[in-house]
Structure 1
Amino acid sequence: MGLLIAQSEGTLDSVTGYDLAVAGAEFNVAVGVARLGHRVTYMTKLGNDPFGKRIIRVLNENQIGNEFVAWSDTKKTGFMLKGRVSEGDPDIFYFRAGSAASTLSVEDVGKIRFDEYSHIHLTGILPALSKSTLDAVNLMFDRARQAGLLITFDPNLRPQLWPSQDEMIKSINAMAAKADIVLPGTAEGKILMGSDDPKKINDFYRNLGAKVVITKVGSEGAYVTTATEEYLVPGFKVDKVVDTVGAGDGFAAGVITALMEGRTLKEAVRRGNAVGAIQVMSRGDNEGLPYPEQLETFMKK
């Protein structure tokens, strides 16, 4: 989706200028995976408008495949406003209801050649946009499982996009049960299953059916539970947190790429912690996502 970042601090209705960028959880992960040297394809539906054309340009700049990007001449590309803060969490406001992406359907999913891929990453954002996208994402889970892909799932809760919190919880947990690896945060766990204790969160999703659960615990790192072990992978020291948006997406990109390279789960989570830490030191949702040399240097500190 399009992203308008405030040029100065203040409430979203009081600032007088915005910088144009591109954002979206799945988009951020795609950028992170591509920058670390892996082939990745992005799926969405865009409006035939300046935001949509800019998204395609950024995909091309990052060598991300766009063959599964559909276009709409009647719906517009969704976008969001993002405030500017000296550090921490900025204000955010979405304009996504009725967007082109909200019309993504099971017919669009039918065009994906799942047997050509080894991995699929899904989040709880796209299914929140409409009944059509919820059906499409559920079909993606089913087709990916049939094709033997490794499925990672980040709940990425956006309560303002769902019809109700009850529907959000029910839908997100049902999707998590179909994933191989679930990547919640502690605050999400509190909403989804009633606890912010990482061990309890991990046990909950393991019992639902996930093979691996990795709960992000902020600067402390990430807590991992598998069928045979559980452990904490410590985080990396960050000099200054500039913008926390996109940190979880960076974490996902780090985990995914390490697993694609055949590294151990513990190594993958350590890389995820590193990419997430690098991202929070940059303004913007994906601008700070590292290339291999930058990541290697940071992890050696």
Structure 2
Amino acid sequence: MGADVVTFGETMVLLEAGTSGPLRYVDTFTKRFGGAESNVAIGLAKLGHQSLWMSKVGQDEFGEFLIQKIRGEGVNTDYVKSYSGAPTGLYFKEMRRPGDQRVAYYRSGSAASFFNADDLDETQIASAKILHLTGITALLSESCRQAMFKAIEVAKANGVLVSFDPNLRFTLMGQLGEEGARQVMRDIASKADLVMPGLDEAEWLYGTSDEMEIANLLFESGVKKVVIKNGGEYSFFAEAGGDSGRIPSFEIKQIVDAIGAGDGFAAGVLSGILEEKSLEQAVHFAAAVGALVISSPGDVEGLPTRMEVVEFIEQKEGNSGGVLR
């Protein structure tokens, strides 16, 4: 039986500073891990869905650590390959001062950047309900881009919904340049069924901050569902020929770690779609997932179970709910 959601991309080992201040003064680190696609896969697994993550990791202890941890979170890692030609990527999280987090990546030439179309298991993609992709993978290397377009082709040929989160990383655009990266992102988005950018990302891609205008541009290329995240304020949703509106974000008193919130949100939207909820209901559920993620440290530690999401929503609003139109 195939997975509900198949995804692929780079996951790295995270070394999080144990004390605040510039990294030069930090002596201790907590070892965690994170990667946009595996974060979404873990989020879906915690919400009760079958998820599968493909990738390449280094043939090293960090690679073994990633496979062990992600498998332990309930994700199928059977199609992750160990690669002897390059190391597993790393990144460091620095806490300069309260509210000022910085991230330094050491991923250039990592094992995941050698992922290619031959590393895809097309049978798993063809039998899934959703293929989830991010723009990070598209910027890692030419072979990763080719793998993305091949995966989309397989998904489309088999009636699998294609989900795309641009998840822009300007530091990865060096090879393509900003205009080249923009064109690649727009090309991928035009082939997707569901596109979930942040408002700033959508404005960079399409030159306007008008959410309905962005949605219509995507609908013209064949996209069916659009969700645009606007930070901690609200999320806009629209369906081709259907409803549109704004879902207010949940208020959080203390943000512990905002990194990973977008991946939790994406997992919530995909969970709602798998359960055949309306897009409005899926985004409302996703807003709760994202709020819970930012209340905990690390990329995946705050990803909630279904019961935790339900209890959080009930605590915040009872059964009232609401959409800003």
TM over 0.5: yes
Are 2:259 and 1:245 aligned? yes
In structure 2, what is the Cα distance between the partners aligned to 1:113 and 1:34? 17
User: 4+ residue stretches of structure 1 with deviation over 6 A?
Assistant: none
Of the candidates 125, 134, 138, which is equivalent to residue 123 of structure 1?
134
Aligned length: 301
- 1-side partners of 2:149 and 2:49: how far apart? 25
What are the within-5 Å matches in structure 2 for residues 12-23 of structure 1? 12-23=23-34
Name the residue aligned to 1:255.
Answer: 269
Matches within 5 A, 1:202-221: 202-221=215-234
Task: Work out whether residues 12 and 91 of structure 1, in 8 Å CA contact, stay in contact via their aligned partners in 2.
Answer: no
Which of the residues 151, 159, 166 maps onto 2:170?
159
Aligned twin of 1:147: 158
2:246 to 232, 238, 261: 232
Of 216-225 and 199-208, more deviation after overlay is shown by 199-208
The residue number in structure 1 matching 2:300 is: 286
Q: Does 1:48 align with 2:77?
A: no
- Offset at residue 296 of structure 1 (A): 1.1
1:219–1:38: structure 2 CA closer, same or farther, 3 Å change rule?
same
Contact 2:199–2:228 (Cα < 8 Å) also in 1: yes
**Percentage of identical aligned residues:** 36
Q: For 1:244-276, what per-residue CA distance to the aligned partner results, in whole angstroms no more than 9, with x for missing partners? A: 111110000001111111222111110110100
Structure 1 residue 94 displacement after superposition: 1.2
Give the conservation status (yes or no) of the 8 Å contact 2:21–2:97: no
Q: Deviations over 1:55-80 (max 9, x none)?
A: 11112211210121111012111121
The question of whether the paired residues in 2 share the 8 Å contact of 1:176 and 1:182 is answered with yes
Q: Which residue of 1 aligns with 2:7?
A: none
- The amino acid that maps onto 1:177 is S
**Equivalent residue of 1:177, what SS?**
helix
Q: Give the SS at the match of 1:145.
A: helix
- 1:178 equivalent among 191, 199, 203: 191
Q: Which runs of 5+ in 2 are unaligned?
A: 1-11, 316-325
Distance in structure 2 (CA, Å) of the matches to 1:79 and 1:50: 12
1:255–1:145 CA distance, 2 compared to 1 (3 A): same
The Cα shift of 1:198 comes to 2.6
Equivalents in 2 of 1:256, 1:110: separation in Å?
A: 21
Q: Which moved more, 1:88-97 or 1:39-48?
A: 88-97
CA distance in 2, matches of 1:98, 1:175: 23
- Equivalent residues of 1:189, 1:201 under 8 A apart: yes
Determine the structure 1 residue equivalent to 2:84: 73
Give the structure 2 partner of residue 190 of structure 1. Answer: 203
Query: Which residue is equivalent to 1:58?
Result: 69
TM-score (norm 2): 0.89
- Deviation track 1:183-238 (CA, whole Å, cap 9, x = no partner) reads 00011122212233333332332233311110001222210121222111121111
Give SS of 1:135's match: helix
